[in-house]
Structure 1
Amino acid sequence: MAFPPASPRGPVPVGLPQYNLNGLGRDLTGRTMANEKGAQYATYDLDSDKKIDLEKSYEANGHGGQHHGNHDHHDVDKEKYEANVPQLQGYKKRLKHFTFAWYAWTMATGGVAFTLSVIPFRFEGLTGLGTAMFIFNIIFFLFNTIAISARFMMFPGTLKHAFSNPHEGFFSATFLLTVATMITNTTAYGIPNSGPWLIDALRIAFWVYLIVTSVFAVVYYHVLFTVKALVITNVLPGWILPIFPAMLVGTLASAIAKTQPPAHAFPMLVAGLSYQGLGMMLALMMYPIYFGRLMTSGLPADQSRPAMFIAVGPPAFTALALIGMAQDMIEAKIVPDFISLPGIQNKAMITDQLQILALLAAIGLWVFAAWCFGIAIFAMFEGIHRNDFHLNWYAKVFPNVGFTIATIQIGTRLDSTPIQMVGTGMASILFFAWLIVFFCHIKAIKNRMIAWPGKDEDAH
């Protein structure tokens, strides 16, 4: 049956599929975007990690099935989708979709390993378990790095797209966060079993990490400002990920400074405090936008809700860094043996005052982190039955590493056994949560839910 031609402004003839093009190629003011890239991103709900155009066309033809307010990419009829994909996907073709999000796996694994090292109530074999996780995490990190390097070399253009596409680009920060966890784990598991050379190596690693994360924090935000691919109504805590590696300079300083001579420990602590403040300040600028979005636009899409746990990270890691750095001032014998501050009469009181201030600030930050955790956990359980695995599930683990360690440290400084027991319980839950997510990760690989065309962050 032939349809009459439609006028440029007339309605679509009856019988033709009517695609929902609301917002296609337009910015928040309704103006048409000037470049094709902007139009490309405007077709996607940026809450979602993996929505594809096929989902839109499939729903537009009346085959939506039972959907919820925020659609998951697996709501697409798998048979119809996979009919357009070669059934025999070799390793090479799957490698094309090996994204930066895989570093969320090593980031979380390293975080859990470090948490095991600070548990106050220990049993025989706990240190061995943490050491094993530390070693395996290095192997996982090398595997990820080799795989993603092969992807960039074998498929020209994927490197540029990985950074210019925020869906994947935000996860590039997890590479540096993994490096941070490996450095902190080295202080816990490496120093007791090695020579003094490792102390010097950690000091060099600290300053190299600081330089690299400083450049990354500036350059990647510049990329985001340039591509203009984000929509303010879809803001998530993940938008602070580019500054997260720089913020963890404070956490690194709290872990490393106590192992260094005073002449090296003091500059590290100053740098750690500076960068911890930078990360927390940027997070404080982002929180009003994020909570405003929750109040006006509701919860994120189901598959994006694990990212809500990222909001727990900045206050939690800042709390543990402040306590740790204040304690390092004593352990490294910086005050009053190494430095004297002009105008202060009783220099012996400096360390005591710093510890009190750090503890008070940490308690306030911990409560804020707990509130953010509560918001995220309720949102997660509300949509968990509609969700399937994405690599962002590891966000349920890593931010809570800081939350757990901060709890333990507050309990230690208050000499409170009940709080330390709560922290130990949180660490146990965190470990089993990691096991569950890791199991789902392996299952997702087998079932072609990740590293498969249209299923990953590079699908946008």
Structure 2
Amino acid sequence: MPQDELPKSATQPNNSEPKNERAISLVDRFTWGNFTCTQSTGGVALMLSKSPYSFRGLHTIGVVVFILNLVLFILFCSAMSFGVPHAGSWLVDTVRVLFWIYGAITLTYNVVIFVVMFSLAPFAPGSMSSPMFLMIYNAMLTGTVASVIAADQPPSERIPIIVAGIAFEGLGWILCLLFLPHFVGNLLVNGLGPVNLRPGLFISVGSAGYTIIALIGCAKAIPDGHGYFAKHPTAAETLNIMALWVGIFLWLFTFWLFAIAAVAHVPILVSKLRGDKSRQQMSFALPWWAIVFPNVGFTIATVYIGEELESSAISWVATVMTILVFVAWLMDMYLHMKSIFQKRIM
């Protein structure tokens, strides 16, 4: 039979598939990992609001990034810093209610998920990957959220939020301490992992970074002369001092985790600059968002320490960190969109 008389299906490649089937295939590959994008985008908005050195238009940039995060979250299924000046006090009450709902869900989740994991999905020592930190970050981030929203709450509502924030931060930090030996053990047994997934090493940076934010932020939000702090007038100053120096105590450990993740990428960058094709080349994957979200916590922690010590040098370091994290966010956003349009990820 002549080629032009062959049935249309016979002339198509065997691996071709209708457009609707390709679309369904992409949706089937949609995973919870996509929410690292909204984590990072919301974190960038918060980071911009905390920048120690501001310039004209910075607030507008932060608002744009925040709105973008809302849009991304709606498409996929830190209102206080930018919303209250424009929306009014009702937003303060709404955020407080949402905080308590989130706290209840978080506590329930952290009980249930560990029972399920112990019963159905135990893992051997040396097999823990860095994305598993995301499983316990919600408890720790409850404390971080408390530190961000507490200062705008009425004094009578502020103390319960601060107490809950510190309690949740303690739960999250201790869980991270339990996970960190398994994480390091996995690196010792299995090495740094595939190059595409290596940016996921930054996830561990957030464990200490967000703990510093929660401790200093909650201490700064203490209402002087109200409730417990009226009976103990020196408690607020004492807790502020303790929070700062515990934060400094944790800062270098945070930098150590960051440095390990950063230096792990040096051989890849060197081979890229040399044009070495023998090494596996990096391409975007969802763990790349770990370059942004955990380092937002590290950056804001540095901002807080600089403010408390009234150190312009530390504040400038934090400003440089802010710029670098923002550039990393732009890079990840571009590569993520590019990968979606190329139908490599969803």
Shared fold, TM over 0.5 = yes
Q: How many residues align?
A: 323
Q: Is the 8 A contact 2:127 2:182 kept in 1?
A: no
- The structure richer in helix per residue is 2
- 2: distance between equivalents of 1:402 and 1:365? 12
- 1: distance between equivalents of 2:230 and 2:129? 42
Correspondent of 2:243 among 358, 373, 387:
358
- 2:60 counterpart residue number: 128
Matches within 5 A, 1:200-239: 200-228=93-121, 230-239=123-132
Q: Is the 8 A contact 1:306 1:392 kept in 2?
A: yes
- 2:17 counterpart residue number: 86
Cα distance, 1:83 vs structure 2: 5.8
Correspondent of 2:39 among 96, 102, 107:
107
Q: Is the 8 A contact 1:246 1:276 kept in 2?
A: yes
Letter aligned with residue 374 of structure 1: A
| 2:187 is aligned with 1:255 | no
Q: Is the 8 A contact 1:216 1:242 kept in 2?
A: no
Alpha-carbon distance change, 276 to 83 in structure 1, aligned in 2, over 3 angstroms: farther
- Which deviates the most, 126-135 or 88-97? 88-97
- 1:416 counterpart residue number: 311
- 1:375 counterpart residue number: 260
Q: Is the 8 A contact 1:389 1:449 kept in 2?
A: no
CA deviations 1:85-144 (Å, max 9, x no partner) are 636444333212111111111111111111011111111111001001111111111011
Q: Normalized against structure 2, the TM-score is what?
A: 0.88
CA deviations 1:19-54 (Å, max 9, x no partner) are xxxxxxxxxxxxxxxxxxxxxxxxxxxxxxxxxxxx
| 2:175 is aligned with 1:282 | yes
Give the SS at the match of 1:220. Answer: helix
- 1: distance between equivalents of 2:323 and 2:294? 15
Q: Is the 8 A contact 1:247 1:276 kept in 2?
A: yes
Cα distance, 1:339 vs structure 2: 1.8
Identity fraction in percent: 37
Matches within 5 A, 1:320-331: 320-329=213-222
- 2: distance between equivalents of 1:279 and 1:125? 35
- 1:291 counterpart residue number: 184
- 1: distance between equivalents of 2:74 and 2:115? 28
Matches within 5 A, 1:29-178: 84=15, 86=17, 88=19, 89-145=21-77
Cα distance, 1:448 vs structure 2: 2.2
Alpha-carbon distance change, 118 to 309 in structure 1, aligned in 2, over 3 angstroms: same
Cα distance, 1:305 vs structure 2: 1.4
Alpha-carbon distance change, 267 to 436 in structure 1, aligned in 2, over 3 angstroms: same
- 2: distance between equivalents of 1:449 and 1:230? 30
- 1: distance between equivalents of 2:342 and 2:55? 37
Letter aligned with residue 395 of structure 1: A
- 1: distance between equivalents of 2:15 and 2:105? 42
| 2:268 is aligned with 1:337 | no
- 1:447 counterpart residue number: 342
Correspondent of 1:427 among 322, 335, 338:
322
- 2: distance between equivalents of 1:372 and 1:340? 36
CA deviations 1:331-370 (Å, max 9, x no partner) are x33xx3322587xxxx332111111110100011111110
Cα distance, 1:301 vs structure 2: 2.3
RMSD (Å) for aligned C-alpha atoms: 1.9
CA deviations 1:1-26 (Å, max 9, x no partner) are xxxxxxxxxxxxxxxxxxxxxxxxxx
Letter aligned with residue 310 of structure 2: D
- 1: distance between equivalents of 2:75 and 2:267? 35
Q: Is the 8 A contact 1:116 1:427 kept in 2?
A: yes
- 1: distance between equivalents of 2:230 and 2:54? 40
Q: Is the 8 A contact 2:26 2:343 kept in 1?
A: no
- 1: distance between equivalents of 2:14 and 2:194? 27
- 1: distance between equivalents of 2:285 and 2:18? 22
Give the SS at the match of 1:310. Answer: helix
Alpha-carbon distance change, 83 to 304 in structure 1, aligned in 2, over 3 angstroms: farther
| Bigger Rg, structure 1 or 2 | 1
- 1:403 counterpart residue number: 298
- 1: distance between equivalents of 2:139 and 2:189? 31
Cα distance, 1:410 vs structure 2: 0.3
Q: Normalized against structure 1, the TM-score is what?
A: 0.67
